[in-house]
Amino acid sequence: MFFLSVLLSVFSMPGFLWGGFIWVSLIPLFISLQKKSLIKGTFTTYFFGVLFLSITHYWLLPVLSVNVPEVLMSFPGYIGIICYFLMGLVMALPYLGIGFSYVLLRDKLKDRPIIFSLYVSSIFTIFEFLRSVGPLGFTGGRFSDALASQTGILQILSIGGSMLGVFLIVFVNALIYSLWLKYKNKKIMILAVVILVVFSVNGIIQQNIPFINYEKESMEEIVGIQTNVPQSLKYNTDIKESYNIILKSLEEVNNGSIVAFPEGTFMFDIRNSLYEKDFLNLIKDKNLKVLVGFPRYEKESYNQIGLYTSEGVEKEFYAKIRLTPFAETLPFPEILGVFEFLKFLDFYEPGKEFTVFKIDDNNIGAQICYDSYYSEVSRGLVNNGAEVLLTLTNDGWFNKTGRLQHSYQSMFRAIENGKYMIQVANTGITAIYDPYGRMLKKLPTIDENSSNHILSTFSYIPIKEKSFYTRYGEWIVYLSIIMAVIIFIYSLFIKRNE
């Protein structure tokens, strides 16, 4: 039953089989924990987390064992394999807390389906949130990711973010399980009724998602340029070929356009370099405003997005806030300094400001790559005035599944904040999502079109209004803490049912 739960949870993730599995995927785990002791139950849940998260992110294995070693030549492939398995062990650590808390009150609450379900969904929500905290935190493999194909229920993200999705999913799983325990002869009926309700609600909401009236007068445009530059070329010291691709793509852009390039378009600080002259002259000739990613080296170094206009590069820039551990920053160097060899280009300082670019009448909140996995970045940009969101990323390391899972993070952030989200990626996926998570346009990836660049105009409506989630953030986490504490106190007054 334990392994069935792992498989159902993995198969529900984007890029696998069907997101609907998530509504029953935890039931086999609860069954396997029925008679386990506190210690065994804690570690069973932890190993569920290790397997679930490791398999969900299987696409990182070839990245670490093949792609990065071949391009950077900084460590052998077998070291990458070891790092991949260590990553799974670390990502799953909060599942120790889930397992311990679950087994602790399991027997006292199992005859009270609603209270049991509220408690289980609360502890999952609390520890899932903790999984995203700190320099080693990561949100990939969140249960709410399975809702990517369930556009109706996905709208709850505008109320409580992805953590509300986690709470709801675990609540449904726990409710089915606890009702099974109470009404043993009605298992099929209970499962059918609950699942019917869930998918009926999804269908009703989906059918009633508003149609957006696209009036040309109210729309703005951004030209997204997807460079299809392989990592082997991007990290090559001879940059002429990739530089020529950048100039050629700019030549195809209409005069006066706002342009967005991917993260790390230049792998060096282009300011005041020999390469800046032709780049800037082209921008001047066509009167362009260009958002472009390149490292910025001053007193501190940043992975950042700069804005070029006909006047040159603006002083204001956005620096990546959530840096990729070990690739862009070294967490806890006194302890983890041995992993310094995993560094990609350089170690950077995290950004401290939610910079919003004000270009003509556009207030653009642009974030970088890994940032899109974290709701707080998009939310911070919108609270700072952004009326449209951008994710500029270099996903050239990833396979189809990795690119898809990352792209869906942009979808989630769009719904959470009620804003259009444009993702511009080296090699793809480059796409635009509307405020309800509907993909309006997608460019072919490098696997579908091997041209060295693809560009397209993305039209959007600037939106000033803020969603409930943008205003109030992770309220469901605080509510979960309160409920978990109240239910724990309540359990102290329940005579244990032996």
Residues annotated catalytic, as ranges: 263, 320, 369
Please, where are the H alpha helices in 73-156?
77-91, 94-109, 113-130
Residue type, 241: E
Q: Is 217 exposed, middle or buried (0-12, 13-18, 19+ CB in 10 A)?
A: exposed
Spatial separation of the C-alpha atoms in residues 327 and 67, rounded to whole Å: 14
Please, where are the H alpha helices in 326-399?
333-336, 375-383
Tokens of 167: 């709470």
Spatial separation of the C-alpha atoms in residues 211 and 93, rounded to whole Å: 43
C-alpha pair distances (Å), 19 with each of 8, 16, 307, 406: 9, 8, 39, 16
Residues in the chain: 498
Torsion of CA 359, 419, 163, 148, to 10 degrees: -120
Please write down the long-range contacts of 200-206, taking CB distance under 8 Å and 24 or more positions apart: 201/152, 201/153, 202/150, 202/151, 202/152, 202/153, 203/152, 204/152, 205/151, 205/152, 205/153, 205/155, 206/150, 206/151, 206/152
Residue type, 150: Q
Spatial separation of the C-alpha atoms in residues 242 and 236, rounded to whole Å: 9
Please write down the long-range contacts of 181-186, taking CB distance under 8 Å and 24 or more positions apart: 181/110, 181/111, 182/111, 182/113
Q: Are strands 289-297 and 258-260 parallel, antiparallel or unpaired?
A: parallel
Residue carrying structure tokens 């398999």: 55
Nearest by Cα to 396 from 201, 235, 207: 235
